[in-house]
Structures are given as C-alpha cells and as structure tokens.
Amino acid sequence: MNIIIESKLRAKVFRKSFYEFFKFFWPTIVAEKFSPNWHIEYLCWELQLLAERIFNGQPKEYDLVINISPGSSKSTVVSQIFPAWCWTNMPTFRWIGGSHSYDLALRDSVACRDIVLDPQYQDLFPGMKLREDVNRQGLFVNENKGGRMACSVGSKVTGWHAHCLGVDDPIDPESALSEADMKQVNRWMSNTLPSRGIFKSDTPMILVMQRLAENDPSGEKLVLQRRGARVRHICIPAELIYEEGELIVNVQPPELVKYYKKDETGYPNPVMDPKRLNGKHLKDFHLTLGEYGYAGQYLQDPVPLKGAMFDITKLKIEEACPRMVRLVRAWDKAATKDAGAYSVGVLMGVDKFGDYWVLDVVRGQWTPSDRESMIKMTAQMDRKGTHARVGNLTGDVPVEIVVEKEGGSGGVESTDNTIRMLAGYAVTGKRVTGAKEERAWAFASQVGIKDHVHVLNRPWTHDYIQELRFFPNSRFKDQADGSSLAFNRLARPKKRVGGGALR
C-alpha cells in the first residue's frame, strides 16, 4: 500500500478513536510497555464523547468527575495524551490543565508537548506545527491558535481561555487534612477556574482524582449534582468488596462491575486491574495507608468500610413515630451568619421500649438575633404537641431544652440570654468539655445497635445521615454535636423529687 495512503488512513482511524490514538502514542511518553485494561478504553471513550460535543460546537452536557486509584494511568489518559488527540479533530482547541502543584501540571504539559513534537504525530497531522514564539513547557500554541496551558491550583490563570478545563489531583493527601487548604482549593475550582472557559458556563470541566475527604473537590461536585447540576460521575474503586452478597463499594456507572476480575495472587476480591493493582499490591497499600487512606485513595470513599464513628447502616429510617416517653431539644449555637458553621436544634426522644428517635433537625446560618428568634419559635412549636415537621407527639410529654454552653464569658452570657428568653420552658445550659469525638461516643455506641436508633424520613434526613457517616472528618459537625448533647441528656436518668430515678 502507498505510504501516503496508509498514513492518511491511520490518521483517519486515530481521529475517530481516541483509544487507538492513545495506544499508538503511549510509547512516546511512557518507557514501560503498554498493558491494556478495560478501564483505560472506557475512560478514552468517555473523554471522546465529551470532546466531540466541543468539536461540533455543542454546549456542554455535563462536567466529568472521575474518581480512580493512583497507579491507574489516569494522568497519562486525561492530562497528557487527550489534549494532543483533541487537536487532531479541532486544531483550534485550547486546554487548561491544573494540578495541586505546578511541577505536576508541568509534567503533564511536557508529556503532551512531546507527543505533538513526535515525528510520527507531525507526519500524521502535518498542520499541527507549534509556533516558535509560544513553545514553552508550560504553554505552547500551534499555528492554528490551539494551545495548552499548565497551572497550579490557586493561580490566577490570567490571559488565557480554554474550550475544556482539566484538573488532575487538585489537592494532595496531606493538604486534605487542612480545612483551610481544602477551602482554598474548592474556592478556586468553583470561582476562578470556570471563569477561564471560552463559553463560561458551557465550558466542560474534567476533574480526575482520588477521593480524600467528604468536602474534597469531587465531593463538592457531587453535592452540586444532587442539587441538579450537570455532572457525570465515574467512580472506579481498585477492588470490589461484598458483605453478605451485597456490594458495599461505590461503582459508577454500576454496570462497570462486570469488568472486574479475580487476579492470580489468591486475593479474595475482584480487582480493577490485575496487572497494575493486583491483590498483593492492594494489601500492601492497605497496611501502609491505614483504613482512612486506603478507603479514600483506593476504594474512592473517604470513609473506611467499617465506618468512621457512626455505623449509619444500623439506623432505621421511619415515616412516623410512636408516643415518646421523654423528649429533648438540644441546641448547638453558631455565632455569625454565613460564617461556615451552622446553628442546629436536634429533637430527640426515647420510646417505651428504650429505643431512641431523631425526630427533627432545625438548622441554619443565622445572625444571633435571627437564631434566638428561631430557638423561641421552635420551642413554641414543640410545646404544642402536634409538630408540623414531626407529626403527632401527643401533648402530654414536655420537651426539655438544653443549650450548649461554650467556654469563656461570651459563651456563658449567650447561653444565659437564651435561658432568660425561654422563661416558662424547661431549659438548661450545659457546659461541654472534651473533644467533639469524645462527647459523641455514647450516642455512636447506641447507633451501632441495629434498629435501636430511629430517624424520621424528612427533608433534613439525608444531610443529617451524611454528616454522621463522615464524622469526625465531616465538613460540618453541628448535627452530630447537637445529637450527642440531646442523647447525653436523654440517657441521664431523670430524678424524682425526693430521690429515685424516673425515665
């Protein structure tokens, strides 16, 4: 066959298939022989679907969130070879590639540039010459004005707009432990980076990372997805784990489960990639990283399989509640409106069988005056017996109110003011000591008994259970703290006048 014809046919095949392009140019940037696995072909296909909408001038259908383990060639696929392939279909295509450090972003940029400069690439796609005046490792532009820019998370990214925004590992595992670092990364992801899209809200973002915390950038994107944002989630854990025949790791889309296979090491669980991450590797990583590290980085869930502190699988969700023997509303107060922390009032009860019930959660970021008004209004509703948010509690069981008393004169004064405002109600200020985790253990131990703690199914239930699930590494801790305060009050025997205990 004529060499020119053969070259044109190969170029045509590569334009139509990112995966074929990927396999061909793998040796250009990777020294090791390519080891095929289903997850690579799948990711190539997903990226191609997203890119083809850009090539056709269509608005974005979704942002793409990919959670996958380290050592899975994710950066090679997404950040290094994919932008070079996009040029073969759209020479004017522009890409911004960010990572938690500029060195990592530069590494991916250099690899992509190496592909474009490869003689085979130039022979197949002769119109992709780089401009001599803009041909740097971190920023290069072709003669059609397409280009690729590298940046670090947190940078201003000025003077450049792109058709697609790529973010590869926006935060490193150590920074995930810092609340301040996490907030900075999420602010950059939600405010700074989207503004650099050529079509603003219609410029797709591709986020690829391992899970590190509840509120890591993936977690923030998934919260937006639940609220209706256009987000497609791909979650590929390193192994499948079953408990009593039920899959207990998250795989998205669920049909990907069929691609997992047993490896040859005798490892009990099917694994994503028997060559890159076999059972022996995973066992070593588990021992090295510990429960939390392994759960996030390899199982793509920042909560260990055994749970954090609260085993939420033991909670029983109910549509209605029986008559309560005793009721407590506990308030954990935040001082400033929209400052990040919430004020919360958790209504908890105990029934005649000794089971505990989470009946209502009132929660908001209020000014001090609005918060006090909400506390008083809630006390009035609780006193009526028939609670609009809960259902019939019967009016003969009074609701005790307990308010957490923070340390310092300001905390004491704030609690005293609330108690004075609630004159006529059974209200107590409770000074708390020790860490939140220590105060939560008593309630957590009861949650760990199957069907012993019940939660009403209401609009607040999902967020409440999610906070317990991640606690003490949850983004917010107010609901867990309020629940602990309510439970510790309920669990303490109520004294009769003259001695003796009364439940």
Residue-range domain boundaries for the chain = 3-236, 242-297, 312-502
Residue position matching structure tokens 């977690």: 219
The ranges of the chain with pLDDT < 50 are 338, 409-410, 496-503
Contact 79, 148 (CB under 8 A): no
Question: pLDDT (tens digit, 9 = 90+) per residue, 139-186?
Answer: 999 999 999 999 999 898 888 999 999 999 999 877 666 777 888 999
36 CB neighbour count, 10 Å cutoff: 12
Q: CA triplet 245, 247, 250: central angle to 5 degrees?
A: 175
Residue position matching structure tokens 């002769």: 126
Q: In sequence order, what are the residues at sequence separation of 6 or more whose Cβ sits closer than 8 angstroms to the Cβ of residue 122?
A: 116, 128, 129
The correct CATH number of 3-236 out of 3.30.43.10, 3.30.565.10, 3.40.50.2000, 3.40.50.300 is 3.40.50.300
Confidence (pLDDT) at 385 = 60
Confidence (pLDDT) at 87 = 97
What are the start-end ranges of the H helices in 171-243?
179-187, 217-226
Contact 22, 40 (CB under 8 A): yes
In angstroms, the CA 419 to CA 412 distance is 11
Confidence (pLDDT) at 496 = 44
Confidence (pLDDT) at 129 = 93
Q: In sequence order, what are the residues at sequence separation of 6 or more whose Cβ sits closer than 8 angstroms to the Cβ of residue 113?
A: 130, 137, 140, 148
Confidence (pLDDT) at 390 = 67
Instruction: Give the phi and the psi of residue 408 in degrees, each rounded to 5.
Output: 85, 165
Torsion angle, alpha carbons of 98, 203, 227, 47, to 10? -70
**Cis link prior to 119 (omega < 30° from 0)?**
no
In angstroms, the CA 286 to CA 304 distance is 11
Contact 150, 102 (CB under 8 A): yes
Question: pLDDT (tens digit, 9 = 90+) per residue, 205-256?
Answer: 999 999 988 889 999 999 999 999 999 999 999 999 998 788 989 999 999 9
Contact 302, 211 (CB under 8 A): yes
DSSP string, 53-111: HHHTTPPPS-EEEEEE-TTSSHHIIIIIIHHHHHHHH-TT-EEEEEESSHHHHHHHHHH
Task: State in Å, rounded, how far the first CA of the chain is from the last one.
Answer: 91
Confidence (pLDDT) at 267 = 93
Contact 134, 143 (CB under 8 A): no
In angstroms, the CA 435 to CA 452 distance is 25
DSSP element (H, E) containing 23: helix 18-29
**CATH class, range 312-502:** alpha beta
| Strand pairing class (356-364; 386-387) | unpaired
Task: For residue 25, give both structure tokens.
Answer: 């140019």
Contact 120, 128 (CB under 8 A): no
What are the start-end ranges of the H helices in 126-257?
179-187, 217-226
Confidence (pLDDT) at 109 = 97
Residue position matching structure tokens 């959670």: 67
DSSP element (H, E) containing 122: helix 119-124
Which residues, listed in sequence order, are joined to residue 495 by a DSSP beta bridge? 501
Helix or strand or coil: residue 206?
strand
Task: For residue 352, give both structure tokens.
Answer: 């005649």
Confidence (pLDDT) at 407 = 57
In angstroms, the CA 83 to CA 166 distance is 9
In angstroms, the CA 480 to CA 432 distance is 14
Contact 88, 129 (CB under 8 A): no
| Strand pairing class (94-99; 147-152) | parallel
Confidence (pLDDT) at 497 = 40
In angstroms, the CA 152 to CA 381 distance is 51
**Residue type for position 228:** G
In angstroms, the CA 46 to CA 500 distance is 68
Kindly tell me the number of DSSP H helices and DSSP E strands found in the chain. Answer: 15, 21
Nearest to 346 by CA among 491, 494, 490, 480: 480
pTM score: 0.71
| Strand pairing class (246-247; 316-318) | unpaired
